[in-house]
Structure 1
Amino acid sequence: MSEKTFKAYKHEQGTAYAQARLGYNAKFYQFVIDNHTSTGGKLDTVLDVGSGPGVATRGLASHFAHVVGIDASEGMISAARSIGGVSSTAEPIRYEVSGAEQLGSNLDPPIPDSSVDLITAATAAHWFDMSGFWPRAAQVLKPGGSVALWTITATHIHPSTPNHEAIQKAMDNFRSQQLGPYLERGNILANNLYADLPLPWTLEQPVTEFDQSTFIRKEWLKNRTDSDPDPIGLKTQVVDLEGFEKRFETSSPVTRWREAHPDAVGTERDVVRVISREIQRLLNEAGVEKGKERITGNVQSVLLMVKKKA
């Protein structure tokens, strides 16, 4: 599959994406690092693939001496460079335009073979051509290096939100009816928490450099609405309607909807405004004062970790 929506982002869109998308919890990054190092992984170089404007790249940077973020979108990389960031050695993060199937082979100089300790992809791998990604990952990783792929998917409304059942139903109906025609295979892979994401040993031509016996798959908050804390502190998230709109409009189905309905963008007919107004109505119906509308949600997530044989 070839991702086109984010690849076409301009600098301004990349900047808006960085402002709307929250970074991942520090405990989550530590969980990834601990799994990587506990199996012999080193902390010299990390390569963040599909980095976008560098949200996860910067979150990982303090753990590594050298940090590289790559993305196929010039606009995303332009935004990442303008934001910057440094590694654990105060070395500036290197941001470059390169696809997941290239992993820096197009750069001058290219990313050398056997030079990377950890490859990461944060809410991005569902857009990769995995038959091209895995062989190239095997090339650039050091023996014993790791690949960590993770994604978050649709928020499930927490019971602490007034009228939560009605809001959940409205959001589910909205996603299926309004955004359904604009979903692509990558969206479906992410929504299914990477259950069908191709792995090195499931490809038509398996990539034998990876160790299936050490494969890790971990899910958080799948189909859960209780308030028990998860092991790594992803926790629930509280957002007001303005924040909800800004975050929601960075999703690729919304971008594609807006491309198909340019006259509605920014109006009350805009797809983001429609669902936001419905959530507002349901909150007000439950007694929440205007201007104080908030929703609390559990974010479902999955992490896959694969080791290259030592």
Structure 2
Amino acid sequence: MATFAKSSFNAAVYSASRPTYPAKLFECIYNYHGRSKDTCWERAVDIGCGPGQATVLLRDRFREVIGIDPSEPMIQKARANFKAHGSSSEHNGVLRFIQGSAESLNETLEDDSVDLLIAAQAAHWFDWSKVWPETRRVLRKNGTAAFWIYSELRFPEHPSLTPLITDYAQGDNPQTSLGPHFQRPGRTILERHLVDVPNPVDVGEKGLGEVERIYFSGDYHPSLPSSQTRPVILKKQMRWRDLLGYLRTWSSLHTYHELYPEDKNKLDERFPEDLRTSNTQVDREDIDVRGGDIAIRFWKDLREKAQEDGARVGVEDTVNVEWPVALILARRIQ
């Protein structure tokens, strides 16, 4: 994705503010992978790995793990994150990160060399006419592909906030919404939970089959097939301050500020107590809540609405956040 590849994109903030993937998601993937009697657990590859949040979780099951991403800042951050996790070992799996593209895996991976190929929060950017054939090429027989995304956040205790989220993320006014600043059609594919991603056979790839689509979306998106819908599994309790940090990772915000740099200098005087709280913070790495740019304004809109519901909305107060997840599974069958 073009924004993430820019040198000005802050991969460190992205890494720290995004939700982490739950064990239940990997259990689902591993159960699917383990159905074949000839399943191998030697090499796993994460394409579009970003800062490596999903990549590092593969080490417990695979002897070798590779993360691939087109963005050099992301690869640098992934390597730094891995170093923070400690050095690799034969027991925990050897992990390395390589700059490369999901559509051109021939530059980084050999034929028939991968047991599990994943993509976490990247599949909506792929050119599937190229990625499905590349997936078939690099997977070993009975190898698994597992591609997933999570869509727009939801507040389970505050459903009244959902219209605000939709207006902010999908509105069509380029000055008051981030909707026009997302890269399309990728963002639309994410918003629609990958239903627009073709099956392998639809792009002429017959070597992949046993395709399954699972939606861990609960009741948030009733238009999705009910037989394939499961309870929400991606959840996080966050300080309101941390929620602002998450909102600042949106690629569309980065693009918005490139187009409207003056927005960064705006002020929003709602919640003046935020500044008093910030002045007492001793952690210099904490999320800065000063200013009044479009992210701050949206964040304060959410807090005002939640406050109407009776919620505590101080910057150090916490709120429960959920994200619907869409997962596509496929296996190399020939």
Alignment TM-score, normalising by the size of structure 2: 0.80
Shift in Å, 1:243? 1.2
Shift in Å, 1:180? 1.8
**In 2, Cα distance between equivalents of 1:57 and 1:80:** 9
Q: Counterparts of 1:21-60 in structure 2 under 5 Å?
A: 21-39=18-36, 40-60=38-58
Q: 1:144 aligns with which of 142, 145, 150?
A: 142
Q: Is the 8 A contact 1:64 1:88 kept in 2?
A: no
Shift in Å, 1:267? 4.5
**In 1, Cα distance between equivalents of 2:14 and 2:318:** 21
Shift in Å, 1:74? 0.5
**In 1, Cα distance between equivalents of 2:192 and 2:89:** 33
Shift in Å, 1:289? 4.3
Letter of the 1:7 counterpart: A
Q: Counterparts of 1:60-99 in structure 2 under 5 Å?
A: 60-84=58-82, 85=85, 86=88, 89-99=91-101
Partner of 1:275: 298
Q: Output the aligned Cα RMSD.
A: 2.4
**In 1, Cα distance between equivalents of 2:333 and 2:187:** 31
Q: Is the 8 A contact 1:31 1:232 kept in 2?
A: no
Q: Is the 8 A contact 2:42 2:64 kept in 1?
A: yes
**In 2, Cα distance between equivalents of 1:88 and 1:300:** 35
Shift in Å, 1:87? 6.7
Q: Is the 8 A contact 2:132 2:200 kept in 1?
A: yes
Partner of 1:216: 212
Shift in Å, 1:233? 7.1
| CA deviation string 1:201-252 (max 9, x = no partner) | 112xx012112xx111111125439xxxx96871543322211111122122
Letter of the 1:245 counterpart: L
Q: Which stretch of structure 1 is more off in the superposition, 130-139 or 44-53?
A: 130-139
SS class of match (2:154)? strand
* CA pair 266-67 structure 1, distance change in 2 beyond 3 A: farther
Partner of 1:241: 240
Q: Which stretch of structure 1 is more off in the superposition, 78-87 or 288-297?
A: 288-297
Partner of 1:265: 264
Q: Counterparts of 1:165-204 in structure 2 under 5 Å?
A: 165=160, 167-177=161-171, 178-183=177-182, 184-203=184-203
Q: Is the 8 A contact 1:245 1:272 kept in 2?
A: yes
**In 2, Cα distance between equivalents of 1:87 and 1:258:** 42
How many residues were matched structurally? 292
Consecutive unaligned residues of structure 1, counting only runs of 5 or more, are: none
Q: Which stretch of structure 1 is more off in the superposition, 113-122 or 20-29?
A: 20-29
**In 1, Cα distance between equivalents of 2:231 and 2:137:** 31
| CA deviation string 1:104-150 (max 9, x = no partner) | x33xxx42211100100001011111111122222111111111001
Partner of 2:14: 17
Q: Does residue 305 in structure 1 map to residue 304 in structure 2? A: no
| CA deviation string 1:20-79 (max 9, x = no partner) | 112200121121111111124311000100000100001222111000000000110011
Q: Does residue 102 in structure 1 map to residue 98 in structure 2? A: no
**In 1, Cα distance between equivalents of 2:195 and 2:313:** 41
SS class of match (2:220)? coil
Percent identity, aligned pairs only, is: 24
Q: Is the 8 A contact 1:116 1:140 kept in 2?
A: yes
Letter of the 2:329 counterpart: M
Q: 1:8 aligns with which of 6, 9, 13?
A: 6
Q: Which stretch of structure 1 is more off in the superposition, 189-198 or 21-30?
A: 21-30
Q: Is the 8 A contact 2:144 2:331 kept in 1?
A: yes
Q: Is the 8 A contact 1:67 1:87 kept in 2?
A: no
Q: Is the 8 A contact 1:52 1:76 kept in 2?
A: yes
Q: Is the 8 A contact 1:45 1:115 kept in 2?
A: yes
Alignment TM-score, normalising by the size of structure 1: 0.86
Partner of 2:112: 114
**In 1, Cα distance between equivalents of 2:35 and 2:313:** 50
Shift in Å, 1:102? 1.4
* CA pair 115-289 structure 1, distance change in 2 beyond 3 A: closer
| CA deviation string 1:157-213 (max 9, x = no partner) | 21x23xx41x2222222223301211321111011000001331112xx012112xx
**In 2, Cα distance between equivalents of 1:87 and 1:116:** 20
Q: Is the 8 A contact 1:71 1:96 kept in 2?
A: yes
* CA pair 290-133 structure 1, distance change in 2 beyond 3 A: closer
**In 2, Cα distance between equivalents of 1:303 and 1:88:** 30
